[in-house]
Amino acid sequence: MNVEYLIVGQGLCGTWLSWYLQKENKSFLVIDKNDGNTPSQISAGIVNPVTGRRLVKSWMADEILPFAWKAYSEMGEFLGQEIILQKNLIDFFPNPHQRQVFIERVENDDEHLHSYPEQNEFNPYFNYDLGCGEIRHCFSIDLGFLSEWRKILKNKNQLIETEFLVENIKERGDSVEWTDSVNGTIQAGKIIFCDGLGSVSNPYFHYLPFAPNKGECLVVEIPGLPENYIYKKGFLLSSYWRPNLFWFGSNYQWKFEDPFPSKEFREQAERHLNAWLKIPYKIIAHWSGIRPATIERRPFVGLHPHVNSVGILNGLGTKGCSLAPFFAHQLVRLLVYNEAIIAEADVKRFTKILNQGFQPL
C-alpha cells in the first residue's frame, strides 16, 4: 500500500492532522491500537483563555481560541452534531490569596475575568464562603467526536487498529516503509508521530524535553446541578455532555509509579466533593492517564531536522483541546505548502539535541 502520509495515533493530534490532510485531498493512513485510556479520551474537553494561579492569558490565546472555535464548529457540522459550546466558568475562590489575585485582575480590566453579580446564586448547590468570580469565553468540547471521526476513517479504510512498532520502520531516502505482520508493507512519503506518550521512547524524538505527568478524574452523577456553567474550586467540575453527568478533576502528579487510578486521588476527590457540594452525588467512574507534557510547556511540531520523512505533532499537555487544531493546521501547511511553523513550537528548535546519538533506522 502506498500513501502520502502515515499518521501514528488518533488522539486529538492525529484526528486533527488527518482532518486537515483530508481537506487538502492528501492520501493518508492512521495507525492506532484503540487504547481507551488515553488523555484525549478522558479529558474534560475544556478550553480556558486564562491559566495558572496568577490567572494570566493562555499562550497565543487571541489566535488559538478563535481558530479552535471555528475548527470544532466545522467538525461538528461535518459530523452532524454539536460538539462545542461556549460556557462561562464560575471560579469559587479556594482561599483569600486566590480571591485577591482574581480581584486584582478584574481591577486591571482583564477581558476574560469579571465579578459575578449574583454572589448567592449558587448557594443551593455549593459551599463557598469566599465568594466567586466569572471567567468568560471558555469552551466545552464533546470529545465523543473522536470516536465518530474514527468510524469515518474505518469506513474509508484509512485506519489500521494495531500497535505501532517503531522498529519496523525503514527509511527509503525521501520516504519511509513500515511493515506489519498482518497488514503487510506500507510505503509513505512521510510518517508523523501523534502518539502522545509513545514518542517519549521513540528513537527519533526521545531526546526531546518531555515532562510526562499523571492526571486522574471522576465521572460523577449530580442530578439537579445546572449544566450551563463550568465550576471550579481548586478542581474543575464540568458537564459531561450527558444528562446529570459531570467530569471532576484533575490533579498533576509529576512522580508516579503506574498509570492506573489511585486510592489516594479517589479519597481526596471524595473529601473535596463532600465539602463543596450541598446536593447528593454518585461516582460513576474513576479514570487516569499520563499527559505528554513538555518542560517548557510548548508543543513539538514539524519535521525531524535530520530526517525529512519523519515528523511529530505532540507535547500539548493540558492544552490539547485548544492547541491541536491550530498546530495540526500549521503542520499541514508546512507539509503541503512549505509554510513555516511558529518558532516557539517548531521542533527544529531542538536540532542540536536531536543530533545527540542520532542513528537512522
Class of domain 2-41+145-210+295-354: alpha beta
pLDDT over threshold 80, residue 131: yes
Closest-CA residue to 141 (of 239, 10, 234, 237): 239
C-alpha cell belonging to residue 162? 494495531
* Average pLDDT rounded to a whole number, residues 124-148: 97
Residue 360: pLDDT above 70? no
pLDDT tens for 191-237 read 999 999 999 999 999 999 999 999 999 999 999 999 999 999 999 99
What is the phi-psi region of residue 137: left when phi exceeds 0, alpha when psi lies from -120 to 50, beta otherwise? left
Looking up cell 503506574 gives 258
In angstroms, the CA 87 to CA 352 distance is: 43
Percent of the chain with pLDDT over 70: 98
State the DSSP string of 74-133: HHHHHHTS--EEEEEEEEE-SSHHHHHHHHHHHHTT-SSEEE-S-TTTTTTTB--TT-EE
Q: Taking the domains of the chain in order of start, what are their residue ranges? A: 2-41+145-210+295-354, 86-141+214-290
> What does the pLDDT read at residue 357?
54
**The residue type at 59:** W
> In the prediction, which pLDDT does 273 show?
98
Residue 359 — very low, low, confident or very high, per pLDDT cuts 50/70/90? Answer: low
Q: How confident is the model at residue 36 (pLDDT cuts 50, 70, 90)?
A: low
Question: What whole-number distance in Å separates Cα of residue 242 and Cα of residue 130?
Answer: 30
Q: State the fold for domain 86-141+214-290.
A: D-Amino Acid Oxidase; Chain A, domain 2 (3.30.9)
Average pLDDT value for residue range 67-92: 97
Look up cell 527519533; give the residue.
Answer: 204
What is the pTM (predicted TM-score) of this model?
A: 0.95
Residue 358 has pLDDT above 60, yes or no: no
- Residue for cell digits 502522545? 196
What percent of the chain shows pLDDT beyond 90? 84
CA distances from 357 to 126, 167, 202, 207, 348 (A): 55, 17, 13, 9, 16
Strands in the chain per DSSP E: 2-8, 28-31, 46-47, 50-51, 56-57, 84-92, 113-115, 132-141, 159-160, 169-172, 175-180, 184-193, 213-221, 229-233, 235-239, 245-249, 282-291, 300-303, 310-314
Give the residue among 324, 269, 322 at the shortest CA–CA distance from 140: 322
Low-confidence winner among 31-35, 132-136, 204-208 (lowest mean pLDDT): 31-35
**CB-based contacts of 357: which residues, under 8 Å, 6+ apart?**
207
- What is the C-alpha separation between 135 and 88, in angstroms, rounded? 6
pLDDT digit string (tens) for 93-118?
A: 999 999 999 999 999 888 999 999 99
How far apart are the C-alpha atoms of 285 and 232, rounded to whole Å? 20
Question: Which pairs with CB-CB distance under 8 Å and at least 24 residues apart come from 93-96?
Answer: 93/128, 93/130, 93/131, 93/132, 93/133, 93/233, 94/130, 94/233, 94/234, 95/130, 96/130
In the beta sheet, which residues pair with residue 254? none
Report whether 285 contacts 271 (CB < 8 A).
no
CB neighbour burial string for 180-190, b if at least 16 within 10 angstroms, e if fewer: eeeeeebebbb
